[in-house]
Structure 1
Amino acid sequence: MTATQAPLALCCDGVRKSFGGHAALDGVSLGVRRGEFVALLGPNGAGKTTLFQILSGLFVADAGRVTVMGSDMRRDPVSALAQLGIVFQQPAIDLDLPVLANLRFHADLHGLPRAVARQRIERLLDAFGLAGRARAPVRELSGGNRRKVELARALLHEPAVLLLDEPTAGLDPASRAQLVADARRLTAQARAGVLWATHLVQEVEHADRVIVLDRGGVRFDGTPAALRGVAERDSLESAFLALTPPPSDNPARRTVPA
């Protein structure tokens, strides 16, 4: 079964969220299938982080529904969250603990037997090229390697869906490219669906699908090639800019179908 034939692992239907009368999300609907790498592309302030906070159970939507592998985030959050791996925009890892201790702690939180956890940790550290730094405090690692530890931690319990919110923030270009490549390779092997939020167009070139989010609404959902086509642009960057102009240039926001 290909990713496009697989059932939805993550489903977001008509999600709305407002803060002080401002609509941060205005009826967002999207889906991610297992084995599918979906890029959520949007300018700063588009609503990406608010959406991820709802998808990860940190915020409750004002309206709409989120399900993960059929489990409703509002009605059965334990089952839904158990199927998620998450890398937040802000690093969320103990810098003073060694890499190995951070991963073991996460395995314990998910109730993984020690023998299973040991095998998975060894495999993931080897896959990320971090086996030699397993006993080093995270603080001693480069920014790119710290993010690799967070990605390994998110994959440790073999989630159905991986959420990554601006995971390359603060990294140099080489580290960004390496993290994207590692995420694509390892999540494909694990048959996990990926929702990768970014404002960097170069990170979405090889995504299976691109969802453009702007001012709380979905403006496009389709392949990178289709995005270029509907915007009648030669590059993804110019197509993205055409769909997300500044507010003064876009009094009537438009949604472009795939």
Structure 2
Amino acid sequence: MIVGRQPGGGAAGERAQEISFSEVCVGALDDTPTGDVYRPILTDVNLTMTESMTTIIGANGSGKSTLLQLFNGLVTADSGRVLIDGLDPLEQGKQVRSRVGFVFTDPAAQLVMPTPLEDIELSLRKRVPKSQRRDTALSVLDELGIADLADRSVYELSGGQRQLVALAAVLAVDPQILVLDEPTTLLDLRNKEKLRTVLADLVARRGVRVIFSTHDLDFAGLADRALVVDSGRVVHDANPAEATRAYRELIMSDST
């Protein structure tokens, strides 16, 4: 089982809180022949998020990944303010990172040990006594239905299997908020449906809040709320059916 927390989104008795973005802007300095030029990546993002599951959709380069990385301080705002359950990633980064688990699109960015079992044991090193780590790690792998991969070389796994192992390693540390950047990209239909079940279960039984980006508009329907990002701005905020319809219209208008 995943250790350390009671169902309901936090420690026993903890009140559910919210994520807020206030006038958030993020950019980068591009080196040009005439000097550094500021390039906006996100502009004037204002959000209050309390839903159990939110999806973010948008074209490549729209700013989705940067928006996701603000949730755990992988990226910090140039201006405005981000608060994660009342915590500022700039000032309380360690507390935010302990609260927010992040799963990258490319699992190679996360898997550092030779086998899935060793990778999850590494994730558990600060939370679980050494004598209990193997059993706990096996329980996490079993919960995702991939215990048979425990002692395989990560280099022998398919992209989809690696993605599920990366998810298991993040879940092992029991995040209160789970952020996934395009988690279905490497998954076949069977593993995509497995992921759908896992995320719904995390929300229903453990109170984990889930935020994910995706190009899979059918998978986006799993969420309670959908944000459409275009050119660094949140241009639509609705239920998934309305948001995907608006996104399709946006793409069609850009292509004509």
Q: TM-score, normalised by structure 2?
A: 0.81
The aligned counterpart of 1:240 is 247
Amino acid at match of 1:241: R
Q: Deviations over 1:132-179 (max 9, x none)?
A: 221112222222221111111111111111110111223334433332
Return closer, same or farther for 1:59/1:206 CA change in 2, 3 Å cut-off. Answer: closer
State the partner residue of 2:23: 14
Q: Which residue of 2 aligns with 1:233?
A: none
Q: Distance in 2 between matches of 1:64 and 1:247?
A: 30
Count of residue correspondences: 236
Q: Please give the residue correspondences for 1:206-217 in structure 2 after superposition, counting only pairs within 5 Å.
A: 206-217=222-233
- Once the two structures are TM-superposed, the CA of residue 17 in structure 1 deviates from its matched residue by 0.9
1:97 matches 2:114? yes
Structure 1 CA distance for aligned equivalents of residues 44 and 226 of structure 2: 18
Distance 1:162 1:240 in 2: 24
Deviation at 1:9, TM superposition (A): 4.1
In structure 1, the gaps of 5 or more residues are: 229-235, 250-258
Deviates further, 133-142 or 183-192: 183-192
Contact 2:196 2:222 in 1 (8 A): no
- Which secondary structure does the structure 2 equivalent of 1:105 belong to? helix
Report sequence identity in percent. Answer: 31
Contact 2:62–2:230 (8 Å) recurs in 1: yes
1:172 paired residue among 188, 199, 203: 188
Match runs of 1:31-110 below 5 Å: 31-33=48-50, 36-91=52-107, 92-94=109-111, 97-108=114-125, 110=126
What does 1:151-170 correspond to in 2, within 5 Å? 151-170=167-186
Gaps of 5+ in 2: 1-6, 10-14, 29-36
Residues 209 and 221 of structure 1 are in contact (CA less than 8 Å); yes or no, is this contact kept in structure 2?
yes
For 1:129 and 1:64, the matched residues in 2 are separated by 42
Distance of 2:21 and 2:252 partners within structure 1: 25
Task: Write the deviation string for residues 109-148 of structure 1: whole angstroms up to 9, x where unpaired.
Answer: x443346645542332111111222111222222222111
Cα-Cα RMSD: 2.6
Distance 1:246 1:239, change over 3 A: closer
* 1:84-163 equivalence runs, <5 A: 84-91=100-107, 92-94=109-111, 97-108=114-125, 110-114=126-130, 117-118=133-134, 120-163=136-179
Give the secondary structure class of the aligned counterpart of 2:124: helix
